[in-house]
Structure formats: C-alpha cells, structure tokens
Amino acid sequence: MGPGAPQGPWTYLLPLALIAVAIIRNARTRTLRVERLWISPVLLLALSGLMLSQQTPPGPAVIALYVAALALGALAGWWRGRLTHITVDRETHALTSKASPAGMLLILGLFALRYGLRSFGGVTAGLLHVSVLQVTDTLMLLAVGLVCVQRLEMAIRATRLVNAARANRL
C-alpha cells in the first residue's frame, strides 16, 4: 500500500482504542515497585540498540536527529515522571502511583505528534533526505528517552519518599 492508497478505519480506530485503554489504566492508583522500574527501560534500550545495529550507519545529520529525539523524549519523560503522583504508606512503606491528568495529556499530545510526524515523514522522507526507516527510528528513540527518564525520575522520588518515611518512623 503506497502513501496515497486509501486506508481503512482500523488505521485510526486501533490507535484510539489503545489510547483509551492506556488512559483508563493510568487513571487508577497502582502499586509501585521500585525494584521493577528498570525492566522496561532495559528492554527498550536492548530492542532499540538491536534495531539500530541492523542498519547501515547513519550520517551526521541523522545522528543529530536521533540525539534530538532522545533529548526531547528524555525531557518529556522527566516532566511526566514529575507529574506522577507517588504516595507512601507511613506504616508499611508501600508505594502507590497514579498518573496525573497533565501527564496523560502529554502522552496524548506526543502520540498525536508522533502520528502526524509519521504520516508527514513517510510522505516527505525523500525530500528530507532520510529514509522512512530513519523517521521510524527517530520516533522510537523519542519513546525510549521518555520511558527511561520517566522511570528514573519515579525511582529517585519513590526512594526519597520511602527513606523520609523510614526516618520519621525511627
């Protein structure tokens, strides 16, 4: 199917359904296990490293684009991590987290940006002297930066909260 080919409704309905599920899931308070926050960043880094290693080395302009996407994702991840509400039970030191509405709006905005850039990049990749694969990699690195820094920010804050709760209990 080419860029001008008609697309079915699933092209738009499936991402919207996934966003709805993510919003409903993130609107609930969940148990936060700091010891598990490293798993998804490590998996994402390994998968993205594997994907990038299977391609021809990019030029300096594409590397700069990758670094910018990673930095933008890291900034968005730090912001989303800061907006996540983390609470600690003073007796048991159990942690819970809940995504803030602003954090969910950030994800919606990034998804819309990603979807728009993917469509734009797929059509104009040749004009920009990048391949469609490089556009996809750029968007993947944006997500990697977001997830890694969000989890790091949450782990740092959660550890501080638990340490403060333990210090107050003594």
Against a cut of 0.75, is the pTM above it? yes
What is the model's pLDDT at position 100?
82
Residues 18-50 as b or e (16 or more Cβ within 10 Å = b): eeeeeeeebeeeeebebeebeeebeebeeebee
> Given a cut of 50, is residue 1 above it in pLDDT?
no
Predicted confidence at residue 97, as pLDDT, reads 92
Which among 100, 60, 86, 64 has a CA at the least distance from the CA of 154? 86
pLDDT at 123: 59
Given a cut of 60, is residue 169 above it in pLDDT? yes
Residue 97 phi/psi, 5° resolution? -135, 155
pLDDT digits (tens, 9 = 90+) for 17-32: 877 787 787 778 889 9
As to burial, measured by CB atoms within 10 angstroms (0-12 exposed, 13-18 middle, 19+ buried), residue 135 is: buried
Please check the confidence at residue 2 and state whether its pLDDT lies above 70. no
Task: Look at residue 27 in the predicted model and tell me its pLDDT.
Answer: 77
Report pLDDT for 102.
82
Domain coordinates in residue numbering, the chain: 32-169
Residue 3 has pLDDT above 60, yes or no: no
Q: List, for residues 86-131, the tens digit of each pLDDT value.
A: 999 988 889 999 888 887 787 777 777 767 766 665 555 555 566 7
The pLDDT of residue 153 is above 90? yes
Summarised one tens digit per residue, pLDDT across range 43-94 is: 999 999 998 898 888 889 889 989 999 999 999 999 999 999 999 998 888 9
Residue 9 is predicted with a pLDDT of 73
